[in-house]
Structure 1
Amino acid sequence: MASLSSGSARESKAGFWKKNTSVPGSIKPVYGAQHPPPQTDITSPGWPVKKDDKGKSGKRDPFHDFENKTSDAWDDGDDDLIQMASLKMSLRDVQTSAKVVLDNHSKRANSQQQQHPVRGSSSANSVHTDESSSSAQQQSHPPTQPSPPHHHPSGPGLGVRLNSGGYQPPKMTSIRYVTNKTPDREAARMEKFKAVFTEPSLDLTELRKLCWSGIPKSVRPTAWKILSGYLPTAADRRQETLERKRKEYFSYIDQYYETRYQDQHEETFRQILKDIPRMTSLAHLFQERPAQEIFERILFIWAIRHPASGYVQGINDLVTPFFVVFLSEYIENDIEVENCDLGQLPQSTRNLIEADSFWCMSKLLDGIQDNYTFAQPGIQMKINALSELIKRIDAPLHAHLERHDVQFLQFSFRWMNNLLMREIPLRCTIRLWDTYQAELNGFADFHLYVCAAFLKRFSEDALRENDFQGILMLLQNLPTLHWRDKEISELLAEAFKLKYMFADAPRHLLHKS
């Protein structure tokens, strides 16, 4: 895992967690490009040590001990996200804590670039492009078993983001719209999608049913555009809508993009420029300057059009699935996305991908914008709900985490903020989003049950860990690098059961004293 650039940074971060989780006060703000912290001096060098009610030094903070041995997965570009104090936190602690994290941000980013050079290769994060051969691929590449306690080298906490190269997927060829090699069942599904798309007024309920269990690659771009609300259900209005919205997006570019270096926007754009190179889920593709420029424009225009939240780390990840899916429309069937050279695509084609990605990402964020407004209340509520849900469905695991002082905020904040994108390969994220888009409020509501099923899946592994460090190491670096559609389908089935049990009975999640 990445290591912090200095011991003082490690101590400050560790103390930030444990000290502030016991301080009474207001809700915890998060500081990002839109909400810079006040400039105050740090005057609390004793953070890493717990104190009792009388102010005397007590036992060492387990999170501090953990950081002394190894830094967590947030250090790989997520440090700004964890600048939240607890729900019970004073304003003074908010200011001093945020100052510590932000002061060390640039040092850590530089050291991480040296310690973890990005490897651009066709790795486990390549997009799954052959739905017709998924069963055969699962048999030839079964999911790996979890590593022994304290050893999870293949988990995507770093592996997915840094393309560790430990797994090489088979050479895959994508299906045509309908080919002779397509199994009868898949051919029948394709015919259903074609029939739905060609209806004068598309039946959205029928489309959601078809998409819930996964969308064939060749029709996924159109399905996502309709399910996200970007394209209308009326077939005769779709082309006109595409042309109008694409033109509207580039009018925003002409109007606002030149202001990115002005005082009121400079900090926002600076943060965007720092975050985009960290997007290594498809390492080679995102090292290309044309791709980075596309993301810079999308994120900047979105930020200034949504002043309530502005740009917050994590939003950059949410563009990626749309970008990859819409890019797949315009590349040859035998070229994998991470090997695509954007420079070979016409500028007009890149413009279409950029505009479509912007609007679909905007539609997604419209439903979860309280995840990114000041203090990120949406994420805080989801983390609390996840804790209560796990207490109901897996009491031994919940008690085990409490006994070892592991807080849900310490591992599930990223799950909520990045919609599990840092925890599973990109091909699995795209399959997961098929279902999220098919679900009503999938990104806002169904995601909670997916996170609960995700944690419960690794319950036995967590119970085998007998200390704070081991538990957190596992939960921050879960061994999902070799996951494919099979594992995602199992996860979604379990999440659907949890939703069926609890979504219509919200009182079951209320705390009972």
Structure 2
Amino acid sequence: MAAYKARLQEFSDLLSNEEINLKELKKLCFNGIPDEMGWRPLCWKILLNYLPPTRRTWSETLTRKRDLYKQFIKEMIVMPGESQDAEEDGNRIDVTFADHPLNSNPDSQWQTYFKDNEVLLQIDKDVRRLCPDISFFQQATDFPCAEVVHSKGLKRLHRRVQHTVLKSANVERKGLGITKIALSIKKAPEDYAPMPEGEEAHWEVVERILFLYAKLNPGQGYVQGMNEIIGPIYYAFACNPDVEWREHAEADCFFCFTNLMGEIRDFFIKSLDEAECGISGMMARLLEQLRASDARVWQHLQGQELCPQYYSFRWLTLLLSQEFPLPDVLRIWDSLFADERRFAFLIHICCAMIIVVREQLLAGDFPTNVKLLQNFPSMDIQVVLSKAALLAGRS
């Protein structure tokens, strides 16, 4: 207990400094961020390069970013039929009448609307089943977006897509090897329902963030699995005990998610699979780490031709968000975000996961071992992290 109190004091002292020592912060966060005082969302904002280490700049940074996000909502959620003013030959005209659903002009709002809805359908489907092991995402946020819930029309994005009418876009990130590895193993028994007028569920907020991200990153767009990456970040921010921070969870989450995707986006780009920075390179490094750490298990899996594509594609791509309960994922991400080598520790965690079930793997045949690794057994996450730290030489 005394050690825990001393650790709390370390965080308090470090985060109250005018100039936060990033090296010391990473060292503290690597071993886990306490749940008290809203320190995890604050530390994540710093570790994900959303907030600078200089405290006096925070107010200006936050105001600027949050205003920018409001502008994104206003400009990116295109609603055909809404009156817009334009100027032609010095005269103000209403451009609404110049546009209609059959307009084939690529600049047409209706063309943009229909194209966006193809991607939105997949996002809507994915976020309606986000983190089914908790009820949080089904619940109403205390801070619904006023620009959306109080507006007329279809700015509530879920209304724009009808599963019975629209054909789902093919935006799934395909697996590797001879089998397709599902990116999600946690499924809600049924889709989450929207909130009534004037309210928004948390999943609706996440839907808007992902839609705006896809709009602003057309080269990548939305790929299945991104919903599993954004979920823990939004949860941490929207559960902040400090109401002033919690009020802006949506905007803050958008920029932190964008920064994180900037670091791991190669995992979601199929054309980079075989590149060193792609998912195949990560799986090769995992296999090499396993060979160096436990040659017997490595040889056993190799003899069974149990390739890392069968189990580690989802582990690596989704930063283990599908393998453990959400509280454990938050703890894992403390270490990953604080990793000086930016996700190199992920390889050690994955290797540790294999080693801690080595006896079961050595006794199991191919089907048994595939099932074991694709559905990792419940255990104390600290056992895995301690083993990973030992493999990384950080114990």
Query: Fold match, TM over 0.5?
Result: yes
Whole-angstrom CA distance in 2 between matches of 1:192 and 1:402: 45
- The residue aligned with 1:142 is none
1:245 partnered with 2:65: yes
Whole-angstrom CA distance in 1 between matches of 2:62 and 2:133: 27
8 Å contact kept, 1:314–1:418: yes
Whole-angstrom CA distance in 2 between matches of 1:495 and 1:489: 9
8 Å contact kept, 1:213–1:489: no
Q: Once the 2 structures are TM-superposed, how far is the Cα of residue 460 of structure 1 from its aligned partner?
A: 1.2
Match of 2:261 among 356, 365, 369: 365
Whole-angstrom CA distance in 2 between matches of 1:384 and 1:274: 32
1:424 partnered with 2:324: yes
8 Å contact kept, 2:133–2:325: no
**Greater relative contact order: 1 or 2 (C-alpha under 8 angstroms, separation 6 or more)?**
1
1:259-307 deviations in Å (ceiling 9; x for gaps): 7962432322111111112213444222343212111111111122223
| Aligned counterparts, 1:233-382, within 5 A | 233-258=53-78, 262-288=113-139, 289=194, 290-330=201-241, 352-377=248-273, 378-382=278-282
- Residue identity in the other structure for 1:301: L
Whole-angstrom CA distance in 2 between matches of 1:216 and 1:349: 17
1:376-421 deviations in Å (ceiling 9; x for gaps): 5221211122122222322222222233232210111110111111
- Aligned to 1:244, the other structure's residue is in SS state helix
Change (3 A) 1:400 1:415: same
- Residue identity in the other structure for 2:65: K
- Residue identity in the other structure for 1:489: Q
- The residue aligned with 2:387 is 494
8 Å contact kept, 2:51–2:58: yes
8 Å contact kept, 1:308–1:373: no
- The residue aligned with 1:387 is 287
- Residue identity in the other structure for 1:490: V
- The residue aligned with 1:224 is 44
Structural RMSD (CA) = 2.3
- The residue aligned with 1:192 is 10
Whole-angstrom CA distance in 2 between matches of 1:407 and 1:204: 38
- Residue identity in the other structure for 2:384: L
8 Å contact kept, 2:44–2:337: yes
Whole-angstrom CA distance in 1 between matches of 2:315 and 2:350: 7
1:8-46 deviations in Å (ceiling 9; x for gaps): xxxxxxxxxxxxxxxxxxxxxxxxxxxxxxxxxxxxxxx
| Aligned counterparts, 1:196-215, within 5 A | 196-215=14-33
- Residue identity in the other structure for 2:375: N
8 Å contact kept, 1:436–1:442: yes
8 Å contact kept, 2:131–2:231: no
8 Å contact kept, 1:228–1:364: yes
Whole-angstrom CA distance in 1 between matches of 2:319 and 2:225: 9
- Residue identity in the other structure for 1:235: R
8 Å contact kept, 1:367–1:441: no
Equivalent residue pairs, number: 297
- The residue aligned with 2:177 is none
Q: Once the 2 structures are TM-superposed, how far is the Cα of residue 350 of structure 1 from its aligned partner?
A: 6.4
> Which blocks of at least 5 consecutive residues in structure 1 are unaligned?
1-182, 332-344, 502-513
Whole-angstrom CA distance in 2 between matches of 1:275 and 1:301: 15
- Aligned to 1:262, the other structure's residue is in SS state helix
- Residue identity in the other structure for 1:257: I
8 Å contact kept, 2:233–2:253: yes
Whole-angstrom CA distance in 1 between matches of 2:215 and 2:134: 28
- Aligned to 1:329, the other structure's residue is in SS state coil
Q: Once the 2 structures are TM-superposed, how far is the Cα of residue 351 of structure 1 from its aligned partner?
A: 5.2
Q: What TM-score comes out, normalization by structure 2 length?
A: 0.70
- What fraction of aligned residue pairs are identical, expressed as a percent? 33
Whole-angstrom CA distance in 2 between matches of 1:455 and 1:372: 24
1:461-511 deviations in Å (ceiling 9; x for gaps): 111112x2211111111211xx3xxx333322322333349xxxxxxxxxx
- Aligned to 1:495, the other structure's residue is in SS state helix
1:25-74 deviations in Å (ceiling 9; x for gaps): xxxxxxxxxxxxxxxxxxxxxxxxxxxxxxxxxxxxxxxxxxxxxxxxxx
Change (3 A) 1:496 1:186: closer
8 Å contact kept, 1:202–1:233: yes
> Which blocks of at least 5 consecutive residues in structure 2 are unaligned?
80-109, 140-193, 195-200
Q: Once the 2 structures are TM-superposed, how far is the Cα of residue 455 of structure 1 from its aligned partner?
A: 1.3
Whole-angstrom CA distance in 2 between matches of 1:495 and 1:211: 16
1:174-219 deviations in Å (ceiling 9; x for gaps): xxxxxxxxx3323222222222222221111111122121111122
- Aligned to 1:307, the other structure's residue is in SS state coil
1:475 partnered with 2:373: yes
- The residue aligned with 2:82 is none
- Residue identity in the other structure for 2:219: A
